[in-house]
Structure formats: C-alpha cells, structure tokens
C-alpha cells in the first residue's frame, strides 16, 4: 500500500489519456495536503493510496475509481464534477457520507484547490446560475424545477407530515415523524400561537405547518406557495382534515402578499430568495406584521468566513438540485433586517446536527424504495443524483460547513418575555 509521499504506478498507468494522467497527478498532490481524517484511493492498475491521518478518530473514507475521467472531473469541476462522475458511475465508495465528510472537513484546502483550477467550468456555471436568479418569473421556474418533480417522489422519503425541512429529534429513539411533529410544535410554542392569531406563512410546502398550527392551536393560517404540485396536494390535505375555514391557501409570490398578521412563519424558504432579493424578503416580512407581531424564520446558514466565496461560486446543489438557491450568513440576514425593518432578533437556536440526522433518515427511506422509484420513472442516474444530494448535505451539517437555525424576530411593540423555556 502506498502512503502520503509516494506515487507508484503499475501497468495500468499508460492506458489513460494524457489529460486524465495529468489531472490525476495534480489531484493526488492536493490530497497529500489533507490531514483531517484518512482517505484510501483505489484504482485498477495502481497501488492503493492512503492520505491523511488515521489517528484523528474520524471514520476512514474510501474512494474507488472506475474510470480515469474522474480525475479530470475532480480537477476542473469541484463538487459539480464529483457529482457528475458519481452519477455516471465513474467512481464509488462503500460509505458516501464518510467520504464527503472527509472532503468537507478539509474544505479550506479543497476550496484553495478548486479556485486554482475551476476557471475551466466556472464561467459556464456562473452564467447558468445568473439566468436562474429569483425574479418573480425566475422564482416560479426555479421552484417548479425541484418541487414539481412529482408529489409521489417526495412521499417516498418524507414522513406523513410531509415536512421537507430539518426535524428536531427530542430523543435518540425518536422516529422521523415524531421529530417532524416536535419541530412543528416547537415553532408554534416559540411564537406563542393563540386561537385568535392570524398567521401568515411564506412557503407552504405541502401544508404541514398550516395543518398542525390550525388543528392544534386553533389559529387561522394564510399560506402561500408558487409550486403548483405543492398547492394541489396541500389543498387536498386541508380538505381531508376539514380545516378549510382555518387555512387559506394562496398561489402568490411572497412579494405580492398583503395584509397585517399577528405571527409570521417561513421554514427554509429563505434559501430560494437569492442574495439580490434578501432585502425585499425582510421588507415584506416587516410590512406583513402588526406592531406587536412575531416572526420565526428557519434558515439554512453559511458560516460568515465562507459566505463571500460562496456568492462567487456555484456548487452541486445550485447546479443540479435547487436552481437559483443560495445560503445566507447570519451577517447577511441581519444586515437586511437592519436596512429594511424595525424587527428585533430575540431568539436563535441552531439545530444543524438534527438536520444531519433528518437527511440520513430521508436517504435511508429513499434508497429502500429503489424498485418503487424505478417503476415511477426515476431512473438510476436520477436516484444516484439524489443519493449524492442527501449525502452531500448530511456531510455539510455533520461537519458544520453549513448550519440551520430558528430565528425569532419581534416587532418593537411585542413585549413578551424570553422564550428560552420552550
């Protein structure tokens, strides 16, 4: 077995095109700099390569190269290239999360490497992302591209609440459904929902929050989505619950919402806003709340140190899963709040590790339904893409490369005391 500082090639080394051999050399040079955890690379015709430190306590990671073009994809494409090669079957691993956690743990080194070589693909990716910016028309197109893939797809891995956002697990033994319900109840209690409250929700999903709040807290919820498929299923679920008198479903852009409400909820919708429209988002939240109002925003967030770089790049999620998406930092959020509102931040709770577990549960359910997904028309390439998506995000939350938090904002007229006992 080969270790960090040598590179022994055997009879297979001459079979790959020159560009792939050159890419392999450069990628291996970079892998030698990664020290957080241990990675073994296996490739037919070459000695095994071992990188990093096996004494760090992290699970070992393994990368198995099946096609030499993988090296070129890794060199020039970053996370986008890695995903494309995985979907094509050009590489595999016995533990995808462990492998992606290894690279995420060494993210600063990997970013340095990607910045040096991504000039080949970066202009195209940035151009495509710019075309996907979240104007009113663009937002509908972007949301449709993901959420209108078919409600049946999402039903294969979501629990019966149909909550497509981080759950909060009250115990190690909790099921996904129990954790989703606990998250919903946590939100309602943080907002101190009362039967007389008029609540506005930005981002209906499939109606999970609206149904829970109206059913268990007796309030009236007005909620909006711009996904046609979500709207239709949410309407059906509201009818089944007999809550038509307490839930108003809209098919409107959040920028077009009007009225005054006691409470506002937006669960992981901010990621679909885009940096150019973050001010507009908080301006609308501010305008929709009564002088004594409260808002809870559940937001995936980027560490401050990496936010500016993220704005200049396009990752796997933006390219293949959520077109037009972005992850704000707390600094970006609070700057928009400062400029566009008189909202006061009164509470923040990070639940990033709960999201890692949520994604793990989603992935297990998704992978267990391969045959069902195949019969529904979702081919192997699609299933491999979504496997990568779940694992990529689980790795990110597990290593704190990204986080998720519930932020509660109060209007100055709201004098409620601390909610830390929730």
d(CA 281, CA 328): 12
Residue 164 forms part of a structural domain? yes
d(CA 67, CA 87): 12
Which of 65, 94, 120 terminates a domain? The answer is 120
The CATH number for 57's domain is: 3.30.1050
Query: Which runs of consecutive H residues, i.e. helices, occur in 132-175?
Result: 136-147, 151-155
Catalytic residue, from 188, 219, 363, 393: name it. Answer: 393
Measure Cα distances from 341 to 219, 271, 315, 407 in Å.
25, 19, 31, 15
Asked if 113 and 142 sit in the same domain, the reply is no
Residue 422 forms part of a structural domain? no
Asked if 146 and 39 sit in the same domain, the reply is no
Asked if 376 and 270 sit in the same domain, the reply is yes
Asked if 217 and 116 sit in the same domain, the reply is no
Asked if 80 and 180 sit in the same domain, the reply is no
Residue 273 forms part of a structural domain? yes
Residue 415 forms part of a structural domain? no
Q: What residues contact residue 155 under an 8 Å CB cut-off, 6+ apart?
A: 162
Asked if 111 and 165 sit in the same domain, the reply is no
Q: What residues contact residue 104 under an 8 Å CB cut-off, 6+ apart?
A: 395, 396, 398, 399, 401
> Which phi-psi region, left, alpha or beta, contains residue 192 (left: φ > 0; alpha: ψ -120 to 50)?
left
Domain count, the chain: 2
Is 393 annotated in the active site?
Answer: yes
Asked if 211 and 291 sit in the same domain, the reply is yes
Asked if 266 and 399 sit in the same domain, the reply is yes
Residue 417 forms part of a structural domain? no
Asked if 198 and 93 sit in the same domain, the reply is no
pLDDT tens digits, one per residue of 60-76: 999 999 999 999 999 88
**pLDDT, tens digit only, all 422 positions of the chain:** 434 333 333 334 445 688 889 899 999 999 999 999 999 999 999 999 999 998 888 999 999 999 999 999 998 888 889 999 999 999 999 999 999 999 999 988 888 877 776 645 555 544 544 555 566 665 676 677 677 789 999 999 999 999 999 999 999 999 999 999 999 999 999 999 999 999 999 999 999 999 999 999 999 999 999 999 999 999 999 999 999 999 999 999 999 999 999 999 999 999 999 999 999 999 999 999 999 999 999 999 999 999 998 888 888 898 888 888 899 999 999 999 999 999 999 999 999 999 999 999 999 999 999 999 999 999 999 999 999 999 999 999 999 999 999 999 999 999 887 665 55
Which of 87, 120, 153 terminates a domain? The answer is 120
* CA nearest neighbour of 219 among 183, 268, 262: 262
Which of 94, 120, 146 terminates a domain? The answer is 120
Quote the domain boundaries for residue 70. 11-120
Asked if 57 and 140 sit in the same domain, the reply is no
> Which phi-psi region, left, alpha or beta, contains residue 307 (left: φ > 0; alpha: ψ -120 to 50)?
alpha
Please state the φ and ψ torsions of residue 218, each to the nearest 5 degrees: 75, 10
Asked if 96 and 160 sit in the same domain, the reply is no
The CATH number for 173's domain is: 3.40.50.150
> Edge-to-edge strand order for the sheet containing 220-224?
247-250, 220-224, 198-202, 261-267, 289-301, 403-410, 344-350
* CA nearest neighbour of 335 among 283, 288, 293: 283
Q: Whole-model pTM above 0.85?
A: yes
Determine the pLDDT at residue 36: 92
Residue 263 and residue 199 in contact, taking contact as beta carbons nearer than 8 Å: yes
Residue 409 structure tokens: 């904002």
Please state the φ and ψ torsions of residue 296, each to the nearest 5 degrees: -120, 125
Asked if 102 and 144 sit in the same domain, the reply is no
């Amino acid at each position: 077995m080969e270790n960090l500082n040598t590179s022994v090639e055997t009879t297979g080394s001459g079979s790959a095109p020159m560009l792939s051999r050159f890419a392999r050399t450069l990628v291996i040079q970079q892998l030698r700099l990664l020290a957080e955890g241990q990675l073994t690379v296996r490739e037919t015709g070459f000695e095994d390569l071992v990188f990093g430190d096996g004494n760090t306590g992290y699970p070992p990671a393994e990368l198995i190269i099946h096609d030499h073009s993988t090296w070129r994809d890794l060199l020039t494409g970053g996370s986008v290239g890695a995903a494309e090669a995985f979907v094509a079957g050009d590489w595999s691993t016995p533990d995808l999360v462990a492998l992606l956690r290894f690279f995420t743990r060494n993210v600063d080194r990997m970013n340095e490497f990607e910045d040096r070589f991504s000039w080949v693909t970066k202009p195209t990716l940035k151009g495509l992302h710019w075309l996907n910016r979240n104007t009113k028309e663009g937002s509908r197109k972007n949301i449709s591209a993901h959420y209108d893939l078919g409600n049946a797809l999402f039903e294969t891995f979501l629990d019966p609440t149909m909550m497509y956002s981080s759950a909060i697990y009250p115990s190690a033994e909790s099921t996904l459904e129990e954790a989703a319900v606990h998250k919903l109840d946590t939100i309602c209690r943080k907002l101190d929902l009362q039967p007389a409250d008029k609540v506005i929700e930005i981002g209906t999903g499939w109606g999970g929050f609206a149904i829970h709040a109206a059913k268990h807290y007796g309030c009236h919820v007005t909620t909006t989505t711009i996904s046609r498929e979500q709207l239709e299923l949410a309407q059906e679920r509201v009818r089944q619950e007999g809550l038509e008198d307490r839930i108003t479903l809209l098919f409107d852009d959040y920028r077009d919402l009007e009225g005054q409400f006691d409470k506002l909820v937006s669960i992981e919708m901010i990621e679909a806003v885009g940096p150019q429209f973050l001010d507009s988002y908080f301006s609308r939240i501010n305008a929709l709340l009564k002088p004594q109002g409260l808002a809870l925003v559940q937001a995936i967030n980027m560490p401050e140190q990496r936010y500016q770089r993220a704005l200049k790049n396009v990752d796997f999620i933006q390219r293949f899963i959520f077109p037009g998406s972005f992850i704000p930092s707390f600094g970006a959020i609070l700057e928009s709040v400062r400029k566009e509102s008189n909202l006061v931040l009164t509470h923040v709770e990070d639940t990033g590790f709960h999201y890692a577990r949520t994604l793990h549960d989603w992935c297990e359910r998704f992978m267990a339904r391969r045959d069902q997904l195949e019969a529904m028309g979702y081919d192997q390439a699609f299933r491999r893409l979504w496997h990568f998506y779940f694992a990529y995000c689980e790795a990110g939350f597990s290593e704190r490369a990204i986080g998720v938090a519930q932020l509660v904002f109060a209007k100055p007229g709201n004098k409620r005391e601390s909610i830390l006992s929730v």
